């Protein structure tokens, strides 16, 4: 493979819903460009993209796959992304390192929720998009309806470059209104016959051609003037105009293909090679400090590692984009994030599991290397004298969580190591060793996401694991003032233990005034604030301790011990053992012994006084509540809303968005455990959702009572 310059390199994401045919399209493109001699199929489990065992077993793309080929003296770096929303991390990663997206639509189903989700990500990253209507040879294909949905969702920026002459099993021809020719294929597809447009189509084709010319001219004043003067543009001028329209997302061209029959794939690749912006024309990436970095092959070398995977027969493979300069085999680069030095012993250009050794790669290109010592996904490697540090990729919040454990307890350490490795491969897979819940929690984008992880552990790593419903991280707090005192006294031969603490506790909120007086049982307690300590709790909220001791009843040196006792109980609340938060404690009196008082005595006295006061202060459980956004087809809106209401959801709003209904709600985490599975079942997989932590809210009393009984029963079992 020759060495390509930045103006000859094009980086393209291939996006689309599950079943839209991305992997099949990649297979056809590789065949047309000569990378492979025979096209594989998903059904036969022999495609270049889906080569991992789990992908072959499930028949779905699980990982994004880098696919590189040469076409029209250009290097085309495609990244084939999974269609399932459970593996959206591949889409987000891909759009961070590519410059354009091919977004496939299944002509049977039109503009699906998954299509819309992927389009929203292209909008977020401001990437040009080319729509590709696929599977036009299917009996249920409906091009006109798909186009109508597309225009309803996107608007008048959607512009046809091609339209099919016929759809369904007889599909074999398209009219190309850029070339103003008809492309017609024999049953085996491949190279088409290029013929004149039939008389019955010429008027429609001319109208669409004029619309395309006008859209292309809109993005360049000189082209617009020529268009007004001459009424038309030549093909090269139209390419320039379309390229500028793509770059500004003011134009979304539409192509037609049957990837399965290899029809119109060559023409699509020709358009990509001639029109899609090369890396030197696209938006420059930024470092963490906001510096733009141009793809200059003569600058100091810097690469960004965007993907890491452990692959069959090879081990760890690191995929990277050359952000600046030129990298060569044998180069030593500094990892700016981890501090170590890495040698690039081998460089590869890759097409799935097909790896071609190369000597060097220039700015803007994508490549791979193997067996780096200590480099992780998201790290930047620089040549000496270069200090670039590129931004981390921002992934969506997880939507599905499970507790995980090895069936054989002796393999827990092995499980921990494998989960760490899997997170490196897939940053949307989060792993937490929860001290609070005493569980290992894994979080992902959906049930299928975690089920795939389980498959890999059990089949690839021969490690049996089990999932359990994770515990909910409740919080405990109080709703009113209370007073308690506790004397800890212990005598055992030698020196004894003595400490007595009197305290008042009250609910805390930010900015509350200092206490002055309290009244309990007809007695008034005046508070004189001597010292205040605020503890910002790791789990949210605060503990505030006010020292109001007068007359030396408790020596100030014992106040830290009392605080430790309070924290003991804050870490294991009196109600259910959950973390407590937002409590203000006023220690106003107590007693000590000149010989027997020590730190442990006051720690225990403080802890027990706090527990007694807490139970008398209207204790309440708080539960985590999430902001949930559901995108669903209109005909499923009633079912989705009814299900949410059954989950104690508070509906916050409804609105139509690009052909779908958008529902926003606040839902307790307790009720979201199986939501991704239920939503898929309710809508036939046509809806999607996102969730993000919002706040802690009071648990309803009936649920609190149930949780308290469960906790008491658990404590008795442990005793």
Name the pLDDT band for 719 (thresholds 50, 70, 90): low
- What angle, 0 to 180 degrees and rounded to 10, lies between the N-to-C axes of helices 199-217 and 221-230? 140
pLDDT at 2 over 90: no
Assign residue 107 the CATH number of its domain.
3.40.50.300
The residue length of the chain stands at 719
Q: How many CB atoms lie within 10 A of CB 477?
A: 23
457 in the same domain as 600: no
CA-based max dimension of the chain:
112
Judgement on whether residues 162 and 113 belong to the same structural domain of the protein: yes
Q: Give the rounded distance of the alpha carbon of 498 from its chain centre.
A: 55
User: Residue 462: its pLDDT value, please?
Assistant: 95
Supply the CATH number for residue 662's domain: 3.30.70.240
Give the C-alpha separation, 469 to 674, whole Å: 10
Say which residues have a Cβ less than 8 Å from residue 685's Cβ, sequence separation at least 6.
18
For 449-466, how does the pLDDT look when each residue is reduced to its tens digit (9 = 90+)? 999 999 999 999 999 999
**To which residue do tokens 């803007």 refer?**
364
Res 133 pLDDT > 60: yes
Domain for residue 10, yes or no? yes
> In the prediction, which pLDDT does 595 show?
87
Mean pLDDT of 2-25: 94
Whether residue 87 is found in the same domain as residue 192 = yes
Q: For residue 178, with 0-12 CB atoms within 10 Å meaning exposed, 13-18 middle and 19 or more buried, which class applies?
A: buried
- Name the token pair of 527: 């508070």
Same domain, 352 and 491: no
Mean pLDDT of the chain: 93
Residue 437: how many CB atoms within 10 A of its CB?
A: 16
In a domain, 512, yes or no: yes
* Percent with pLDDT over 90 in the chain: 79
Helix or strand or coil: residue 659? coil
Residue 27 pLDDT > 90: yes
| pLDDT digit string, tens, across residues 93-109 | 999 999 999 999 999 99
Please indicate, yes or no, if residue 521 is contained in any of the structural domains: yes
Whole-angstrom distance, CA of residue 561 vs CA of residue 567 = 10
CB count within 10 Å of CB 429 equals 21
- Which domain-ending residue is among 601, 618, 635? 618
Of 471, 492, 522, the domain-final residue = 471
Query: Which among 456, 452, 446 has a CA at the least distance from the CA of 114?
Result: 446
Whether 407 and 506 share a structural domain: no
710 inside domain:
no
**Where residue 124 falls among pLDDT bands split at 50, 70, 90?**
very high
* pLDDT (0 to 100) of residue 687: 87
Distance (Å, whole) CA 446 – CA 449: 5
Torsion (CA) 228, 234, 236, 239 in degrees, nearest 10: 60
Give the 3-state secondary structure of residue 91. helix
Mean pLDDT for the stretch of residues 172-200: 94
Q: Is residue 41 part of a domain?
A: yes
List pLDDT tens digits, range 653-699: 999 876 688 999 999 999 998 898 899 899 888 888 999 999 999 99
Task: Please enumerate in sequence order all residues whose Cβ is within 8 A of that of 413, keeping only pairs 6 or more positions apart, or say none.
Answer: none
* CATH number for position 362: 2.40.30.10
Task: Tell whether 273 and 158 lie within a shared domain.
Answer: yes
| Residue 195: burial class (beta carbons within 10 Å; 0-12, 13-18, 19+) | exposed
Mean pLDDT of 171-177: 96
Q: What is the pLDDT of residues 364-397, one digit of tens each?
A: 999 999 989 999 999 999 999 999 999 999 999 9
Q: At what angle do helices 559-571 and 599-615 cross, to 10 degrees?
A: 50
Which of 577, 598, 618 is where one domain is finished?
Answer: 618
The Cα 336–Cα 349 span in angstroms is 24
For the CA atoms of 667, 670, 676, 681, what is the dihedral angle to 10 degrees? -90
Q: Within this chain, do residues 14 and 163 fall inside the same structural domain, yes or no?
A: yes
Same domain, 518 and 577: yes
Are 34 and 121 part of one and the same domain? Answer: yes
514 plus 597 within the same structural domain: yes
* Three-class DSSP category at 432: strand
Q: Provide the whole-model pTM.
A: 0.87
Would you state the pLDDT for residue 686? 81
Residues 444 and 346 in one domain: no
For residues 458 and 330, membership in a common domain is answered with no
Residue 679 and residue 663 in contact, taking contact as beta carbons nearer than 8 Å: no
Specify if 393 maps to a domain.
Answer: no
Strand runs (DSSP E) across 262-406, as ranges?
302-311, 315-324, 326-328, 332-335, 341-343, 348-351, 354-357, 360-362, 366-370, 380-382, 400-406
Handedness of CA 623, 626, 632, 637 (dihedral sign): positive
Spell out where 32-96 has E strands: 65-71, 74-80
User: How does DSSP classify residue 646?
Assistant: T
The residue-averaged pLDDT of 318-337 equals: 96
The pLDDT tens digits for 141-151 are 999 999 999 99
Domain that holds residue 367: 302-382
The tally of domains found in the chain comes to 5
Helix/strand/coil percentages in the chain, nearest 5: 30, 30, 35
Average the pLDDT over 157-163 and give the result.
Answer: 96
Higher pLDDT, 581 or 314: 581
Query: How many Cα atoms are found within 13 Å in the side-chain-facing hemisphere of 243?
Result: 20
Q: Encode pLDDT of 252-281 as tens digits.
A: 999 999 999 999 999 999 999 999 999 999
CA distances from 311 to 54, 157, 308, 314 (A): 12, 41, 9, 6
Residue 395 domain-assigned? no
The number of beta carbons lying within 10 Å of the beta carbon of residue 407 is 11
450: left (phi over 0), alpha (psi -120 to 50) or beta: alpha
The CB-based long-range contact list for 590-593 (8 Å cut-off, 24+ gap) reads 590/485, 590/499, 590/500, 590/501, 590/502, 590/549, 590/553, 590/554, 591/487, 591/498, 591/499, 591/500, 591/553, 591/554, 592/498, 592/499, 592/500, 592/553, 592/554, 592/555, 592/558, 593/496, 593/498
Q: In the Cβ-directed half-sphere of 643, how many Cα atoms lie within 13 Å?
A: 19
Q: What is the DSSP string of 577-636?
A: SPEE-SEEEEEEEEE--TTT--HHHHHHHHHHHHHHHHHTS--EEEEEEEEEEEEE-GGG
Would you say the C-alpha torsion 664, 666, 672, 678 has a positive or negative sign? negative
- Is the pLDDT at 718 greater than 70, yes or no? no
**Residue 100's closest CA among 260, 264, 281, 238?**
281
Strands (E), 154-274: 158-160, 162-164, 173-176, 181-184, 193-195, 252-256
How much is the average pLDDT of 171-194?
94
235 belongs to a structural domain: no
Q: Write out the E strands in 408-490.
A: 430-434, 439-444, 465-468, 475-477, 482-490
């Amino acid at each position: 493979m020759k060495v390509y310059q930045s103006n000859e390199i094009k980086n393209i994401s291939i996006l689309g819903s599950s079943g839209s045919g991305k992997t099949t399209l990649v297979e056809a493109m590789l065949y047309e460009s000569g990378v492979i001699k025979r096209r594989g199929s998903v059904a036969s489990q022999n495609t270049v993209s889906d080569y991992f065992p789990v992908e072959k077993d499930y028949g779905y793309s699980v990982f994004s796959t880098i696919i590189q080929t040469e076409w029209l003296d250009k290097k085309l770096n495609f990244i084939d992304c999974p269609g399932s929303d459970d593996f959206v991390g591949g889409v987000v990663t891909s759009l961070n390192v590519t410059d354009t997206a091919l977004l496939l639509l299944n002509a049977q189903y039109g503009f699906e929720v998954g299509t819309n989700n992927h389009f929203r990500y292209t909008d977020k990253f401001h990437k040009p998009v080319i729509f590709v209507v696929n599977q036009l040879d299917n009996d249920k294909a409906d091009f006109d309806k798909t186009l109508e949905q597309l225009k309803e969702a996107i608007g008048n920026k959607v512009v046809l470059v091609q339209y099919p002459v016929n759809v369904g099993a007889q599909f074999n021809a398209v009219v190309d209104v850029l070339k103003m020719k008809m492309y017609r294929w024999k049953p085996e597809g491949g190279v088409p016959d290029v013929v004149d447009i039939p008389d019955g189509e010429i008027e429609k084709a001319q109208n669409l051609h004029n619309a395309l010319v006008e859209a292309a001219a809109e993005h360049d004043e000189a082209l617009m003037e020529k268009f007004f003067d001459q009424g038309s543009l030549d093909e090269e001028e139209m390419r320039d105009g379309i390229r500028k329209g793509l770059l500004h997302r003011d134009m979304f061209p539409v192509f037609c293909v049957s990837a399965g029959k290899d029809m119109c794939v060559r023409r699509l690749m020709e358009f990509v090679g001639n029109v899609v912006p090369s890396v030197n024309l696209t938006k420059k990436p930024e470092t963490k400090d906001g510096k733009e970095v141009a793809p200059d092959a003569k600058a100091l070398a810097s690469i960004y590692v965007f993907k890491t995977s452990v692959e069959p027969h090879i081990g760890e493979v690191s995929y990277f984009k050359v952000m600046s300069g030129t990298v060569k085999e044998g180069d030593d680069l500094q990892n700016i994030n981890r501090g170590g030095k890495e040698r690039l012993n081998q460089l590869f250009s890759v097409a799935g599991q097909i790896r071609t050794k190369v000597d060097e790669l220039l700015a803007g290109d994508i490549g791979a290397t193997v067996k780096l010592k200590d480099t992780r996904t998201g790290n930047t490697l620089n040549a000496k004298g270069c200090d670039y540090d590129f931004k981390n990729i921002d992934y969506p919040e997880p939507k599905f969580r499970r507790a995980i454990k090895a069936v054989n307890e002796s393999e827990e350490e092995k499980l921990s190591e494998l989960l760490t490795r899997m997170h490196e491969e897939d940053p949307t897979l989060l792993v937490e060793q929860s001290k609070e819940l005493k569980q290992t929690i894994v979080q992902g984008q959906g049930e299928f996401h975690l089920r795939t992880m389980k498959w890999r552990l059990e089949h690839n790593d021969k490690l049996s694991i089990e999932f359990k419903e994770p515990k909910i991280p409740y919080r405990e707090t109080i709703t009113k003032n209370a007073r308690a005192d506790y004397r800890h006294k212990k005598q055992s031969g030698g020196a004894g233990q003595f400490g007595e603490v009197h305290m008042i506790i009250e609910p805390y909120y930010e900015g509350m005034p200092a206490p002055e007086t309290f009244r309990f049982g007809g007695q008034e307690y005046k508070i004189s604030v001597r010292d205040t300590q605020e503890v910002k709790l790791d789990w949210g909220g605060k503990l505030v301790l006010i020292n109001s001791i007068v007359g030396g009843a408790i020596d100030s040196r014992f106040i830290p011990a009392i605080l430790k006792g309070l924290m003991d109980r804050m870490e294991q609340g009196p109600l259910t053992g959950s973390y407590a938060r937002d409590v203000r404690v006023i220690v106003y009196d107590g007693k000590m012994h000149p010989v027997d008082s020590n730190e442990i005595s006051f720690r225990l006295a403080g802890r027990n006084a706090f527990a007694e006061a807490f139970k008398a202060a209207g204790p309440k459980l708080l539960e985590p509540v999430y902001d949930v956004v559901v995108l669903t087809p209109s005909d499923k809106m009633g079912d989705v809303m009814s299900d949410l209401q059954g989950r104690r959801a508070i509906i916050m709003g409804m609105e139509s968005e690009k052909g779908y209904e958008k529902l926003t709600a606040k839902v307790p985490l307790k009720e979201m455990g199986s939501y991704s599975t239920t939503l898929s079942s309710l809508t036939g997989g046509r809806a999607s959702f996102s969730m993000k932590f919002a706040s802690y809210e009071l648990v309803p009393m009936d649920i609190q009572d149930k949780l308290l009984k469960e906790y008491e029963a658990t404590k008795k079992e442990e005793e």
